[in-house]
Amino acid sequence: MSVTGEFEALYGVEPEGIWAAPGRVNLIGEYTDFNDGFVMPLALPHTAVAAVARRTDGVLRIHSADVEGGIVQLDVDSLEPLSGTGWAAYPAGVAWALREAGHPVTGADIHLASTVPTGAGLSSSAALEVVTALALNDLCGLGLTRPELAVIAQRAENAFVGVPCGVMDQMASACSVAGHALHLDTRDLSFRQVPFDLAARGLRLLVVDTRVKHALGDGAYAERRAGCEAGARALGVRALRDVPYAHLPDALARLDDETVRRYVRHVVSDNERVERTIALLDAGDVRAVGPVLTEGHLSLRDDLRVSCAELDLAVETACAAGALGARMTGGGFGGSAVVLVESRAADAVGSAVEKAFAEAGYAAPRVFPAVPSEGARRLSA
Ligand code: ADP
Ligand code: MG
């Protein structure tokens, strides 16, 4: 059944519109977004779709085609942060964050269905938030810009769900343009659409979803974040973004803590890798981005130490099988890797990774092309 049909079967009325918001992969710039740094994500063809109708009685009803358990019914006046409403906290948090910011959200019926793999580092959570934010923005006539909606969505995830994520995922989902990567400055949310038409150049970007998530991940993110903040304090800057790459050796020499030094080296060098990637893309030298990705992986593996055996195997195998470069993407400890590869070699590289996983006794990875796709949009009136 279509999302419209499902909505009508659930709520007994027609939806007022259908919206879609994509998941994303990050090409380069990892763990830089909470350091006011640069990132370069692109939207995936996979989307969360929402059918929505307004309500004026303060009732918020939310349903997902992808989880068991029926409709979650809440009251917009009594939405409580961190109150543990499970998956529904993501869309409910958006209604809460909009109201917190003074916007008149008086209830809604929402039905969601998503093709973004969950927990794979591809931002299924941001897709859910952004599609909800865009739908409520349109239906309630709020007039918020895409970056404003992304900030609302991030606030929902940070304060309502309780996940301390940066703003990259929501910005990528809200602001991406097909055929482009999003060069985003996470300090002021300024961004530029960088042409990234791989197919025209005989190239492909593969996503390797390792299908593992190691429990270590959650605490480790907070620990890296705290370490980066300690580094910025020790260096007397507002955020690590303010350490120019040329000053990195001096900065490292001023840090006593070996762990903090490694984190600072990763963040400052990954910021530089984003800039180098942009310069290469602007010069039309897309193939040369490959080694920059691999360099980024080594930094995430050795300095930030957020990789894992499955991600390392994916990257090493892809490179050995002829990829131009590869790296883990997203928070690490599982999730996905990205692989830049000649189109004609894509199948062989994908097969090599699958074979290596089978030989290592790992679950079969999911390998698919990351086609740079459109950001959040309304699908129907
Ligand atoms: P990621 O964003 O990398 O996919 P997260 O852990 O941040 O991983 O978000 C995944 C969570 O988002 C899921 O556990 C679930 O609570 C929620 N979620 C994502 N997609 C859906 C969906 N289609 N229906 C219901 N909940 C979803
Ligand atoms: Mg997420």
User: Given 170, 193, 216, which residue is the final one in a domain?
Assistant: 193
Residue nearest atom 16 in ligand 1 by C-alpha distance: 87
Q: Are 81 and 159 in contact (CB under 8 A)?
A: yes
If asked whether residues 313 and 241 sit together in one domain, one would say yes
Return the SS3 of 315. helix
The CATH number of the domain where 111 resides is what? 3.30.230.10
- Same domain, yes or no, for 260 and 348? yes
Task: Please report which ligand is nearest the Cα atom of 153.
Answer: 2
Cα–ligand 1 centroid distance for 127 (angstroms): 9
**Ligand closest to the CA atom of residue 116:** 1
Cα 119 to middle of ligand 1, angstroms: 6
Under DSSP, the state recorded for 82 is T
Looking at the structure, tell me whether residues 209 and 186 fall in a common domain: no
Rounded to an integer, the average pLDDT of 23-32 is 98
- Rounded to two decimals, what is the model's pTM? 0.96
Q: In terms of domains, do 183 and 226 share one?
A: no
- For the CA of 113, the nearest atom of ligand 1: 23
Q: Is 51 inside any structural domain? A: yes
CA–centroid distance, residue 240 to ligand 1 (Å): 30
Ligand 1 proximal residues by C-beta, below 6 Å: 64, 66-67, 87, 90, 112, 114, 118-125, 128
- Taking the centre of ligand 2 as the mean of its atom positions, its distance from the CA of residue 162, in whole angstroms, is 11
pLDDT of residue 361: 98
- The pair phi, psi for residue 168, each rounded to 5°, is -60, -50
Both 87 and 152 in a single domain?
A: yes
3-state secondary structure of 190: coil
* pLDDT tens string 159-186: 999 998 899 999 999 999 999 999 999 9
Query: Span 6-33, mean pLDDT?
Result: 97
- Residue 98 is predicted with a pLDDT of 98
H helix and E strand count, the chain:
11, 13
Same domain, 214 and 312: yes
Query: Is residue 121 helix, strand or coil?
Result: coil
The average pLDDT across 12-34 equals 97
Query: What DSSP designation does 113 have?
Result: E
Of 193, 210, 225, which residue constitutes the final position of a domain?
A: 193
Q: Which of 123, 128, 207 to mutate to test the pocket of ligand 1 (most atoms within 8 A of CB)?
A: 128
Give, using CA atoms, the residue closest to atom 8 of ligand 1. 119
Instruction: Name the band, by pLDDT with cuts 50, 70 and 90, for residue 244.
Output: very high
Tokens 């990050």 correspond to what residue? 26
Residue nearest to atom 27 of ligand 1 (CA): 87
> Angle formed by the axes of helices 146-155 and 168-175, to 10°?
140
Tokens encoding 359: 């030989």
Q: Return the best residue to mutate from 3, 85, 94, 118 for the ligand 1 pocket (most ligand atoms within 8 A of CB).
A: 118
Q: Per-residue b/e over 52-66, b at no fewer than 16 CB within 10 Å?
A: bbebeeeebbbbbee
| Shared domain check, 352 and 233 | yes
End-to-end CA distance of the chain: 19
Instruction: Cite the active site residues.
Output: 169
Choose one of 6, 47, 87 to mutate for the ligand 1 pocket test, by most ligand atoms within 8 angstroms of C-beta: 87
Q: How many domains are there within the chain?
A: 2
| Atom 15 of ligand 1: nearest residue by CA position | 87
**How far apart, in whole angstroms, are the C-alpha atoms of residue 222 and residue 31?**
11
Q: How far is the CA of 327 from the centre of ligand 1 (A)?
A: 23
Q: How far is the CA of 124 from the centre of ligand 2 (A)?
A: 6
Ligand nearest to the CA of 331: 1
The predicted pLDDT at position 125 comes to 97
At 295-346, the pLDDT tens digits run 999 999 999 999 999 999 999 999 999 999 999 999 999 999 999 999 999 9
CA pair distance 207, 343, nearest whole angstrom: 14
Ligand nearest to the CA of 124: 1
Residue 61 lies in a domain: yes
Distance (Å, whole) CA 306 – CA 370? 22
Residues whose CB is under 5 A from ligand 2 (ion)?
125
99, 105 contact by CB (below 8 A) = yes
Residue in the block written with tokens 């997203």: 330
Parallel/antiparallel/unpaired status of strands 377-380 and 366-369: unpaired
Q: CATH no. for residue 244?
A: 3.30.70.890
Q: What range defines the domain where residue 134 resides?
A: 3-193
Give residue-wise pLDDT tens across range 37-91.
Answer: 999 999 999 999 999 999 999 999 999 999 999 999 999 999 999 998 899 999 9
